[in-house]
Amino acid sequence: MRKSDRKKSVYAVKKYADDVDRKHKELATKSVYLLKENEEAINRYSDTVCNFVDDDDGLFLVISQDKKFYQTFRNSFYKELRIDQERVRLVSSLRRAMEEIRVYKEYQKTPLVFLENSLNDRSTLPFLEELKNTFKDILVIVLMADSDEKKIAHCVEAGADSFIIKPVSVNVLIEKISNTLIPPDDIGKKVREGKQRLRKIEFALAYGVAREILEIKPGSPAGLIVMGDALKGLSKRDDALKMYLQAAANANMYLEPLKKILDFYKEEGDTESALRYLVKINELSPLHVGRKKELGEIYFMKGDIKAAATYFAEAVKLSHEQKLPECVQLAEDYAEKIFNSKEAEAERLLSMRTRLGKIYKVETHWSVYNRLGMLLRRKKNWQDAIKAYSEASSRAPNDASILFNLGMAYVEGKDFGNAAQKFERAIGVDASLYKENLDVAYLMGQVFIRANRSKNAKEVLQHVYTTDPAFKKVKSLLSSLK
């Protein structure tokens, strides 16, 4: 018989008006999303799940918009385990989820979180990383639509304790929860114990746990990592590094030892060694935006702007693939960073910025289009430069320099009529554009002549002649207009 307190209320959880027994009866008339295969898993793992609810004041928080999954999860757990339906909560927004988790933790509740891999077509992995950094001991099971290895690797790296591919049977769900709460093997239990000791700064005790793990399984990467962390905590850094290196050698697809080595070299200020391991980790788990950004920054500081730009562009692209709006500002910031160093890469990033701005409905400042136009002109791509400058001019119609740049793009396309028109507008906005620069005035005069705008040509060329009668061929040009 289950403990009677399983139905005690959960703080900040709304009491459902419908009677639990009536809900139970409704299961017979509803399609069950969580398919039930057999009783074996339920019988074998149910005590662990129920003890979590009873002894740890546990609850299940589903962060999802999949109401069918939530409802059948809730109903099935009542039907099979007699767990009160209030113990299975649904939250559809990440902000609200974080608020509820804080309240539960404050009142000594123990939430086990089910987190969709994406919400509103946006990756939830940044939220997962924030959640695990905020609450070190919280357990999270990620819900996924497929078993993409790269996505799973990213989930594990972000802190996922387990994952489930939907749809899922009741017995698999119960088994997953049980194994997440209590690792099914002795090594898993010991590793968790060792990590708990480390969080409590009990380094000597953690070292003892690590020795026990390695006695059970010599060379265990997880055991070596616990031992390395314990040794580092005991100020035996060189010995700690040896443990991490051995762990990495024993499991070359295991990210955690590589990340430990990376952190070690960062702490030592060894940038070259840190970079080497950062590249290795990126190859194994290529969907981490933060790592792309970090690689880009390191290469930028080293002066390898081409490599930096490659990683910057990958960070922007990956952010967009994960539907993260930050991709828009990232593209602009990185373009600005390399603008004066690598024009081709800067142009690529600015083009991404304008395209992503439209996708995410983020207003693009005229200066972005102006800089893009400059880079396109330098590539002799005057057609696209005209488009960029036109966008800039539509946002800043009274900016003479943009009108002049637009006119120059037309000049490069040998469209002197449109060029002259833009120059005339620029002068109308700000005559100092040519009065303070004889080269600009002389160039305008040439274009006005070719566009048959004699009046405009005389105005600007006369200014040149008055200021410097010997300037280039200004005298002969003026004579040709008489």
pLDDT of residue 40: 63
**Rounded mean pLDDT of 108-137?**
92
What superfamily would CATH give domain 185-284?
Answer: Tetratricopeptide repeat domain (1.25.40.10)
Domain with CATH 1.25.40.10 in the chain: 185-284, 400-482
From residue 46, how far is each of 1, 50, 170, 446 by CA, in Å? Answer: 12, 6, 11, 87
Domain with CATH 3.40.50.2300 in the chain: 4-182
Q: Which of 162-171, 400-409, 465-474 shows the lowest mean pLDDT across its residues? A: 162-171
Structure tokens at 42: 């339920």
Mean pLDDT of 377-388: 95
Cα–Cα dist 348/379, whole Å: 12
pLDDT of residue 38: 55
Tell the residue number behind the tokens 């880079």, with chain if given.
375
Average of per-residue pLDDT values in the chain: 88
pLDDT score at 430: 94
Prior bond of 221 cis (ω within 30°)? no
Q: Whats the size of the chain, residue-wise?
A: 482
Instruction: Count other C-beta atoms under 10 Å from residue 328's C-beta.
Output: 25
Neighbours of 107 (CB within 10 A): 11
User: Judging by beta carbons within 10 Å of its beta carbon (0-12, 13-18, 19+), is residue 412 exposed, middle or buried?
Assistant: middle
Average pLDDT for residues 123-141, to the nearest whole number?
A: 92
Is the pLDDT at 19 greater than 60? The verdict is: no
Is the per-residue pLDDT at 263 higher than 80?
A: yes
Sign of the alpha-carbon torsion through 210, 216, 221, 222: negative
160 with 142: CB under 8 angstroms? Answer: yes
Dump pLDDT digits (tens) for 317-331: 999 998 889 999 999
Q: Express each pLDDT in 421-443 by its tens digit.
A: 999 999 999 999 999 999 999 99
CATH architecture of 4-182: 3-Layer(aba) Sandwich (3.40)
Decide which of 1.10.3720.10, 3.90.850.10, 1.25.40.10, 3.40.50.300 is the CATH code for 400-482: 1.25.40.10
Backbone angles phi, psi at 110, to 5 degrees: -120, 95
pLDDT of residue 32: 35
Residue written as token pair 């088994």: 175
Question: Residue 7's pLDDT band (boundaries 50, 70, 90)?
Answer: very low
Give yes or no for a contact between 151 and 117, defined as CB atoms under 8 angstroms apart.
yes
Give 265-315 pLDDT, tens digit per residue. 999 999 999 999 999 999 988 989 999 999 999 999 999 999 999 999 999
Q: 10 versus 56: which is more confidently predicted?
A: 56
How many Å apart are CA 339 and CA 349, to the nearest integer?
10
What percentage of residues in the chain have a pLDDT greater than 70? 91
Bridge partners, residue 62, by sequence: 90, 114
| Whole-number pLDDT of residue 302 | 93
Q: What is the mean pLDDT of residues 89-107?
A: 94
pLDDT at 41: 57
pTM: 0.77
**In this predicted model, what pLDDT tens digit does every residue of 174-207 receive, in sequence order?**
889 999 999 888 898 999 999 999 999 999 999 9
Spatial contact of 203 and 230, defined as CB atoms under 8 Å apart: yes
- Sort 162 into a burial class: Cβ within 10 Å, 0-12 / 13-18 / 19+: middle
Q: Is the pLDDT of residue 39 over 70?
A: no
